[in-house]
Structure 1
Amino acid sequence: MSDRFDAALVDRHTELVVGLSITTENPEALRDLVFDPAYGTPYSGRYWQVSNDQGELFTSASLFDETLKEPKGEPNTPTLWNTTGPDNEAVRVAYQRITFEDGSIWGVSVAEGQSQLVAERQAAQTYLLPLFGLVGLTGVAGSLLLMSVIQGPLRKLQTDVAGRWDKDEDLNPSDYPGEVAPLVSDLNQLLRRNQVIVSGSRKQAADLAHALKTPSSILRNELSELTDSGANTDIAREALDRIDAQLNRALARLRAMNTAELSHSRTDLSSSIERLARLFTLTAEREQKTLAVSCDPGMWVRMDAQDIEEVLGNLLDNAVKWCSESVHVSAKRKGQDIEIRIEDDGPGLPEEARREALRPGGRLDTSVAGSGLGLSIAVELLNAYDARLELGVSDSLAGLEVRVTIPMRANQA
């Protein structure tokens, strides 16, 4: 705004110089030649003044009986400076000392009151700033709208990819804009490849488990026959138990690796618990023990059925094995989780023993034969699904309480 003000002042100075160049013999004629109503109105805020080397002054009618101060020195180019004009008005002056072709030397001044500049600035603040603010807000709103339009297909793709695991269906590229469709096709291929990798890995683990368990069972039967014939097989049995435990651990880890990330399996947890409860109820009754079950219906979890049933089966096996008379199993929704509690009235475990039982390679009691999944391996398998296992003391039965918590975000109602 200040630059525009100065540029207009220099333009008027140039007009005055041109007018003076043809009226040097009669400077009074400038008043008629330089026409601007403001130059004819006293104290209008717009003034001109010329002076020759004889000390004569000629001014616009707007100066009335006042004169403009001239800057020190003799600048031969237009010089802008601030001074005071009539009635102590702050003015900005363009001044130049010029020698014309006839040899005459003139000082040429054109002034403009700065009140106009102040008024223009106030007008800009009053009108332009709100306008600029509105333009800015419109630009921001437009940008947000544009981002929403751009991100809409990507958000839809994110939701569809998450739901694709549940439906086990490929995404349809035609449901997305042309820019996103190639990405959808690549995702379909990647998801199918990952599913094949997971399925193949789990099948290999299952085949390996079957191949190893058969010779292990044969060796165990041979040791039983040797024991019946009077041979001492304790060392061999212990070694075989360690081999079976390590095999179970390795196979469980192989199944758990990336399972939760890449598998789309869903399991009816309520049905699995009821089926396991029927199986272990028969085992408990043979030992004159009882197994009580309390389970909410319709609880689905996004977990492989073999994984969760192997974990729960081993926990129930431990509970029936170590209880005195009773085992209680409960499963219910609790806040954002599904919580499974397996409680017994057995001797329980002190706190240090609980930590040992959950330590990799730890067992509840090595005096009892067995080569099952083991609590530490169960923890690793559950961790693959962001679930957790904790040991505590049963409030109702006073024995061991095993609590399995599965986050609700891993569930599919």
Structure 2
Amino acid sequence: MLSLRRRAMIGGALSAMASILVGAFVLLSSIENNVLDRFDRALADRHSQLVVVLSGSSNDPSLLSERVYDPAYSTPYSGRYWQITGPDGTVYTSNSMFDSALREPVDSPSALTLRSIMGPEGEPIRSIYQKITLEDGSAWGVSVAESLTALTAERQQTRRSLLLAFVLVGLLGLAGAFLQTTTILHPLDKLRRDVAMRWEQDEDLTPSDYPEEVAPLVADINELLSRNRDIIARARRQAADLAHALKTPTAILRNELTLLAAQNHDMHASLDALDRVDAQLGRSLARMRAANSGAAVNIRTDLSNSVARFTRLFSSMAEREGKAMHTACAPELNIRMDQQDIEEVIGNLLDNALKWCETEISLTARKTTGGVEILIEDDGPGIPEGRERDALKSGGRLDSSKPGTGLGLAIAIDLLQAYGAVLNLEKSARFGGLAVRIVIPGKSRMAVLQKAAA
């Protein structure tokens, strides 16, 4: 569906073009009619002059050529002609006719008659004819004609001038339509920017800052923003309460199973099942939390602090196992993810890396043009080529020689997808093992993803 801006632009352009075309047609028709009327009046004036000369030369019509003072009548095919037919049918013509004659109306009307006919040499001409009766009672047919070449040229020049003028008017009309559309839609653009800013500042919009036609919409948006904040806060509290409510029973079950295992009972299958229950519960709670926090773009987390805490924790764990951890993080690296969510993602991935590595793991976080990139690498066996997709499946485990539920990656992916982030499995160029690359989009990219999701 076209945007309001495009609709307004197209509508304004079509309206302006239609008005211009109608105006151009009416104006051009009026100008051409006026030009033709002026041309015909000039013919009628020359016809009157010829009649006056004829009145004084009717006894000797051969003197007409000498008494009509117009050089054009003396030049052969000059474009101006006259012709007189006497009572006895004798035809007298201007020298410009040379050896040609004008075609007279069949009924020889006594009123002035204007016609467009073919003249000498097949030239289009405009002719005016009248049959007059002199005082002595003799009837004469008087014709005056002029070439239409000059009239046609004048019309073409007029059309070109009007075309240029209307092209200019059309461009001004389009510019006016664009300016008008921009002015009218400016409050909506301002509303869009303000809504995005209110997500950041967690404040309501001010209806009085907008035109009266937009103010009711602003009030509705304020209501939606308020409800959305309440829903997100309530859902996050419920997820947290549910997590706490489930931790105690599972902890009791785990303690009981551990006691039974200490008494030489085989509780391996039960403990493994409980681990999977804990993992599935953790994944479901993570999904609930992500679904309600991923849309809140005002969330910000200082990734530098989280990386520092993980460095201290996993460095100690790696040292106890005779392994090493390397960390590199850009200072003041802020991301648009909830702190608990991103730390759960990094914690799961580091735990996997430490579990499968031989001697070394690394955590790198840096800023890129598309947002923030987190890279976790190890020198373990990695993932066989072509099996990356299988490893990303929910509960997928390519090697069961080490303990685990196989849901760590699935939980990480669920959390990251809620924020429009991407997780890829690669081969580590540094250690040769597995490299997990996470790209968390920045503000502009996040806005695009949310718009597409909407």
Whether TM exceeds 0.5 here: the answer is: yes
Question: Which one of 90, 99, 102 corresponds to residue 123 of structure 2?
Answer: 90
- 1:81 is aligned to 116
Q: SS of the counterpart of 1:261?
A: coil
Q: Tell me the alpha carbon deviations over residues 328-365 of structure 1, each in whole angstroms, 9 at most, x when there is no partner.
A: 21111233332211122333332355332211221364
- 2:4 is aligned to none
Q: SS of the counterpart of 2:377?
A: strand
- 2:451 is aligned to none
Q: Tell me the alpha carbon deviations over residues 117-144 of structure 1, each in whole angstroms, 9 at most, x when there is no partner.
A: 1331353266444333332332233333
Q: Tell me the alpha carbon deviations over residues 275-299 of structure 1, each in whole angstroms, 9 at most, x when there is no partner.
A: 2222333333443433332111111
Query: Structure 1 residues 391 and 126 mapped into 2: Cα distance closer, same or farther (>3 Å)?
Result: closer
Q: Is the counterpart of residue 124 in structure 1 residue 151 in structure 2?
A: no
1:221 positional shift: 1.9
In percent, how many aligned pairs have the same letter?
A: 45
RMSD: 4.2
- 1:309 is aligned to 343
Matches within 5 A, 1:152-301: 152-257=186-291, 259-301=293-335
Q: SS of the counterpart of 2:295?
A: helix
Q: SS of the counterpart of 1:313?
A: helix
CA contact (8 A) 2:310 2:347 kept: yes
1:266 positional shift: 0.9
CA contact (8 A) 1:41 1:62 kept: no
CA contact (8 A) 1:42 1:64 kept: no
1:270 positional shift: 1.1
Amino acid at match of 1:187: I
313-322 or 123-132: bigger deviation: 123-132
CA contact (8 A) 1:81 1:93 kept: yes
150-159 or 332-341: bigger deviation: 150-159
- 2:436 is aligned to 402
Matches within 5 A, 1:358-373: 358-363=392-397, 365-371=399-405
CA contact (8 A) 2:391 2:397 kept: yes
CA distance in 1 between counterparts of 2:422 and 2:236 reads 22
- 2:55 is aligned to 28
Q: SS of the counterpart of 1:221?
A: helix
Query: Structure 1 residues 119 and 16 mapped into 2: Cα distance closer, same or farther (>3 Å)?
Result: closer
Amino acid at match of 2:371: D
Amino acid at match of 2:158: A
Q: Tell me the alpha carbon deviations over residues 240-288 of structure 1, each in whole angstroms, 9 at most, x when there is no partner.
A: 2333333233222233336433442111111121122223333334434
- 1:142 is aligned to 176
Where in structure 1 are there 5+ consecutive unaligned residues?
32-38
Q: Is the counterpart of residue 351 in structure 1 residue 410 in structure 2?
A: no
CA contact (8 A) 1:363 1:375 kept: no
1:106 positional shift: 8.7
Q: SS of the counterpart of 2:294?
A: helix
1:300 positional shift: 0.8
Query: Structure 1 residues 389 and 55 mapped into 2: Cα distance closer, same or farther (>3 Å)?
Result: same
140-149 or 124-133: bigger deviation: 124-133
296-305 or 346-355: bigger deviation: 346-355
Q: Is the counterpart of residue 70 in structure 1 residue 97 in structure 2?
A: no
Normalised TM-score (structure 1): 0.77
CA contact (8 A) 2:394 2:407 kept: no
CA distance in 1 between counterparts of 2:415 and 2:368 reads 22
Query: Structure 1 residues 115 and 341 mapped into 2: Cα distance closer, same or farther (>3 Å)?
Result: same
CA distance in 2 between counterparts of 1:254 and 1:74 reads 100
Normalised TM-score (structure 2): 0.71
Query: Structure 1 residues 297 and 119 mapped into 2: Cα distance closer, same or farther (>3 Å)?
Result: same
Query: Structure 1 residues 325 and 69 mapped into 2: Cα distance closer, same or farther (>3 Å)?
Result: same
Q: SS of the counterpart of 2:314?
A: helix
CA distance in 2 between counterparts of 1:168 and 1:8 reads 75
Q: SS of the counterpart of 1:171?
A: coil
CA distance in 2 between counterparts of 1:318 and 1:324 reads 12
- 1:34 is aligned to none
Q: Tell me the alpha carbon deviations over residues 169-212 of structure 1, each in whole angstroms, 9 at most, x when there is no partner.
A: 22333333444333333323222322333333333233223322
Where in structure 2 are there 5+ consecutive unaligned residues?
1-30, 59-67, 74-78, 447-454
Q: Tell me the alpha carbon deviations over residues 76-118 of structure 1, each in whole angstroms, 9 at most, x when there is no partner.
A: 8967433115xx5934335689999xxx999775644313313
CA contact (8 A) 1:98 1:105 kept: yes
CA contact (8 A) 2:382 2:427 kept: yes
CA distance in 2 between counterparts of 1:16 and 1:395 reads 100
74-83 or 275-284: bigger deviation: 74-83
1:318 positional shift: 1.6
CA distance in 2 between counterparts of 1:57 and 1:193 reads 101
CA distance in 2 between counterparts of 1:258 and 1:74 reads 96
Q: Is the counterpart of residue 393 in structure 1 residue 427 in structure 2?
A: yes
CA contact (8 A) 1:93 1:109 kept: no
1:317 positional shift: 1.6
Q: Tell me the alpha carbon deviations over residues 137-163 of structure 1, each in whole angstroms, 9 at most, x when there is no partner.
A: 322333333333334333333333223
CA contact (8 A) 1:257 1:384 kept: yes
CA contact (8 A) 1:357 1:376 kept: no
Amino acid at match of 2:102: K
